[in-house]
Structure 1
Amino acid sequence: MLRTTAVIALCLAALPAWAADFNLTYASPYTEAHPYGAADAEWIARIEEQSGGRVDITPYWGRTLITSREGVDELAAGVADIAYIAPIYARSGYDMNRLVPGMFYGYTDPKKVLDVYMDLVEQFPVFDEELDGVHVVGYNVGTPMHVLLRDKPVETLDDLQGLRIRSAVDFIGPLAAFGAEGVTMPMTETYPSLEKGVVDGVIAPYEALKSLSFAEVVGYYSELPHSRGAYPSRGVNGDVWSSLPEDIRRIFDDNTEWLSLRTLELAQEAEDAGRAYGEEQGVKFNAVAPEVVAEYSESFAPVIREVAEDLDAMGKPGTEVLDTIRAAHTQ
C-alpha cells in the first residue's frame, strides 16, 4: 500500500501544476526568430496568460505543418488548430482577400493601410465569407518596398529606362510604362543575379538589405514606394473555433488588433535594422520627389480598375472597395 501511494505521489509530482482545458496547436511557415514568428510567440503567451492557463498553445515553426501558399486550405482541413495564413499568395480563390491589397498603391504609411483595411473588413462581410472554415484572429500589413539598384539611383522616372529589375508580377506593368523590364525570379536567386549584373536592381524593403544581404551587392536605395497592402494572417480552424466557449473566443478576438499592431511594430524594427545595416555598408539612400512618386503611383490605376471590375462581375464589391480605398488615400 505504501509503495502504491509513493508511485501515485511521484506521478502527480511529474504533472504540471495545472492542466489546460484547451490544448491547441499553432502552425507557421516562419521561424520564431522572424518578426512574424516573434509576434506570434508573444501573442501565444498573452492568450495563455489571459485565459488563466485554460488555453495551452503548442507552436510548430518553419513549415513543419503548414505552407504559406496553401495555408487557408490547410488550416480549414485541420492540419493545425491555429495557423499563419496568407490568402494573398494563393494561386486562385479568396478573390477579395487576394486582390484588394493591390488597391493600396501609393500608400506609404503601413499603419494607415492597416486601419483602412480593417475598416473594410468590418464594412464588407465578403472578406470573412471567402475564408470559409477559418476564423480570422490577426492581420498583416506589408511595409513599403522601394527600388534597390547596383549602379545608379532613380531620381526621375526617366531613370528607369532600360533597367532590368527583379519584381513581383504586380509591379511589372508600371515598370514597363516607364521603360524598365520587370523580371520575376525567386528571391533566393536575386543576390547572385545582382552580383553578376544579370539584373540591375530589385524591388524590396529596407530589411532585405540585411536579411538577404542585398547591401553587399547594391549601391543605391531609391525610395520609390511600392505598397503591399494588408491581408488576414492568422486564423483558427472553424470547427475548433465553434468548440471553444464564448469567453475563450472573446480573448482571441480582443487580441486581434494587438497581434496585428505588434506584428507591424516588429516588422518596422526589422526595417530600421535593415536601413542601418545598409548605411554601414555604404549604400546611398535617396528620397524621390513627391510629384514623381504620384506619377508612378497613378500608373497602377488602369490595371487595378480592371481588377475591381472583374470582382464586380463575380458579384463582389470590387469597385466600391477600390473607391473607398482611394478616397481614404487623399484624406
Structure 2
Amino acid sequence: MLEKMVKAAAAACIGGALAGAPGAIAQEKISLTAGSGLALASVGTSELANYFLPEVNRRLAEGGRYQIEWTTGWGGTIAGQFDMFEAVEDGIVDIAYVNTLHEGAKLPLEQVTFVTPYGVNDLKSAMSIFNALRERIPAMDEQFLKHNQRRLAVVGLHNYDILSTFSIERYEDLSGRKIGAPGLAANWLTGTGAVPVTGALSEYYNSLKTGVYDGILMFQSGLASFKFYEVAPIVTRVGFGSQIVSNITINEDVWQGLPQEVRDVLGEVASEYEDRLASRTIEQASAGLKTAQEKGATVVAMSKDEVRRMAQVLPNIAKTWAAEADSQGLPGTEVLNTYMQLSRDAGVELLRDWAE
C-alpha cells in the first residue's frame, strides 16, 4: 500500500511539473447550451444528443486545446417546438434542433419543399438537392443570419403519407374530414374537400384519440416512435415527398466568439450528422411501416393514377408562394425554378412540375 501511495505521489508531482513546463498547452473550457423542443424519441434530437455533442468533444479532445462543457435540455425543457428558433436568436440556447417548418413567416425560402409536394421521395436525394440549392442562392442562409443564427445542418423527414381513422381510396374520400397538418403542408389538401387543421407532433395523438382530427399528414419514420397508428389505424401511402423540416442552428454571436478550431469541428460533425440522420431516418421509415402493420394497422398504397389526380387538383401553391416571397424582396421565383431544375437534373420523377 505504501509503495502505491509513493508512486501515486510521484506521478502527481511529475504531472504538475509537466503542466507548468514551458510550451505546455492549458485546455480551455467553453460552456455551451444545446436543446430541442422535441423529446429524445425524435431521431433528430437523439442524434444531436447522442452523436453530435459527444463527437464534437471527442475530436476537440484529440487536439487537446479545447473542451466544451454542455448544458442540455430536451423535450421542451428550455423552449418548445414553436419557440426554439427565437430561443437561439435571443441567446437563451446556443445550439439547437430548430423546427423551421413552423417558421414560415421568418424563414419563407426555407419552405420550398413544402410547396412542391409529389416530388422527391428519397430523403438523401432531397437533402442533397436542398444543400445544392443553398450553395447556389446565398439568400437561403442569409434568412438565418437576419435572426442572429447560423445554420449548421439541415434535417429532413422521409416521405409524408396520411394516417387516418377512415379508408381513403380516392381523394374525394377526404371531403369534410379534419386532417392535422404541419405548417404549409396544410396546402397539400387544397381542392380535396378536406379540412386542414394546423398542428404539431406533440398534439396529434390526443387530437386523434378525442376526434378533433380524423387523420394527420405524417412522415413514415415517426410511425413507430409516436405510435399514432394506435388512434389512426389506416396508413395510406400517398407519397407527398420527403421534406426539409428542421435545422441545427447556432447563435451567431456565439459562433463569432468561438475559436476557429472549434468552428471547424462543429462544421465537420454537422455534415456527418446530416448523413447519419438521413440513413437512420430512412431505416426508421421502413421499420415504422412494418411496426404499424405488426400492431394491427392497415397499410395501403393509393394508386399512382389517383395520386396524380390528387396532385393535379391542387392550385399551383408553389407559384403563389414564390410570388409572395418576390413581393418581400426575396428570390422566391429563383428558388422555386432552381429547386425544380435541380430535381429534374437528379432524375426525380415529378408528378407535377411546379415551375411550369
Q: Normalization by structure 2: what TM-score?
A: 0.78
In the alignment, is residue 23 of structure 1 matched against residue 36 of structure 2?
no
Q: Distance in 2 between matches of 1:318 and 1:136?
A: 20
User: Aligned residue for 1:55?
Assistant: 67
User: Aligned residue for 1:76?
Assistant: 89
The one-letter code matched in structure 1 to 2:156 is V
State which of 140, 146, 152 in structure 1 corresponds to 2:161. Answer: 146
User: Aligned residue for 1:100?
Assistant: 112
The one-letter code matched in structure 2 to 1:134 is Q
Q: What SS does structure 1 have at the residue aligned with 2:220?
A: coil
Following superposition, the deviation at residue 134 of structure 1 comes to 1.5
Comparing 255-264 with 133-142, greater Cα deviation is found at: 255-264
Give the % identical residues. Answer: 22
In the alignment, is residue 267 of structure 1 matched against residue 275 of structure 2?
no
Following superposition, the deviation at residue 115 of structure 1 comes to 0.7
Q: What SS does structure 1 have at the residue aligned with 2:127?
A: helix
Following superposition, the deviation at residue 58 of structure 1 comes to 0.9
Aligned length: 317
The one-letter code matched in structure 1 to 2:290 is A
Q: Distance in 2 between matches of 1:298 and 1:326?
A: 17
Q: What SS does structure 2 have at the residue aligned with 1:225?
A: coil
Q: What SS does structure 1 have at the residue aligned with 2:109?
A: helix
Following superposition, the deviation at residue 232 of structure 1 comes to 5.4
The one-letter code matched in structure 2 to 1:135 is R
Q: Distance in 1 between matches of 2:208 and 2:132?
A: 40
Following superposition, the deviation at residue 109 of structure 1 comes to 1.3
Q: What SS does structure 1 have at the residue aligned with 2:155?
A: strand
User: Aligned residue for 2:55?
Assistant: 46
Q: What SS does structure 2 have at the residue aligned with 1:22?
A: strand
Q: Over residues 24-75 of structure 1, what are the superposed CA-to-partner deviations in whole Å (9 max), with x where a residue is unaligned?
A: 2222223344312221121111111112252324141222323332323322
Q: Is the 8 A contact 1:30 1:61 kept in 2?
A: no
The one-letter code matched in structure 2 to 1:68 is Q
Q: Distance in 2 between matches of 1:189 and 1:45?
A: 31
Q: Is the 8 A contact 1:309 1:319 kept in 2?
A: yes
Q: What SS does structure 2 have at the residue aligned with 1:155?
A: coil
Q: Is the 8 A contact 1:36 1:266 kept in 2?
A: no
Q: What SS does structure 2 have at the residue aligned with 1:226?
A: coil
Q: How does 1:1-331 map to 2 (within 5 A)?
A: 19-40=27-48, 41-51=50-60, 52=62, 53=64, 54-62=66-74, 63-90=76-103, 92-97=105-110, 99-106=111-118, 107-132=120-145, 133-152=148-167, 154-168=168-182, 170-185=184-199, 187=201, 190-195=204-209, 199-227=213-241, 229-230=243-244, 233-300=247-314, 302-330=316-344, 331=347
Unmatched segments (≥5 aa) in structure 2: 1-8, 17-25, 348-356
Q: What SS does structure 2 have at the residue aligned with 1:183?
A: strand
Q: Distance in 1 between matches of 2:284 and 2:271?
A: 20
User: Aligned residue for 1:3?
Assistant: none
User: Aligned residue for 2:6?
Assistant: none
Q: Over residues 113-134 of structure 1, what are the superposed CA-to-partner deviations in whole Å (9 max), with x where a residue is unaligned?
A: 1111111111111122111221
Q: Over residues 219-253 of structure 1, what are the superposed CA-to-partner deviations in whole Å (9 max), with x where a residue is unaligned?
A: 42110123352155112222221222223222222
